[in-house]
Structure 1
């Protein structure tokens, strides 16, 4: 049974406020699922190589300040 088309059809019948509430619930669900996956990956060592690389880049001063990146992005947005 493929429930997705039925769910999509049901959503189209909902009032806009209910759809927005559902969208919020889905986003929260996905955020929590992402957090659980990140916690699992961290606990099992899947992120160890990435963490070591980031720490090495920081130690070698191969990183830029986040504020600088954001400022550059906002400046470029103003140009376009």
Structure 2
């Protein structure tokens, strides 16, 4: 299926079907995001950011959210 065909199929959905698809797609994207973060963590890609965050916290440069 091409992107164009997919777009047409989505445009053809009823309101209820679109809501269901939207919920599913949101979960799908969240799962993909989680998997990418896990890969980045395992590869050490976030080590620098984590170290800077720890340094800022220890230096008192953080504010409660």
Normalised by the length of structure 2, the TM-score is 0.93
User: How far has the Cα of 1:39 moved from its partner?
Assistant: 0.6
Name stretches of at least 5 consecutive residues in structure 1 with no aligned partner.
67-80
Counterpart in 2 of 1:31? 30
* Larger CA Rg, structure 1 vs 2: 1
After superposition, residues 1-80 of structure 1 pair within 5 angstroms as 3-66=2-65
More helix by proportion, 1 or 2? 1
How far apart in 1 are the matches of 2:5 and 2:24? 19
Higher RCO structure, 1 or 2 (CA under 8 Å, sep 6+): 2
- Give the superposition deviation at 1:13: 1.3
Q: Runs ≥4 in structure 1, deviation > 3 angstroms?
A: none
Aligned length: 65
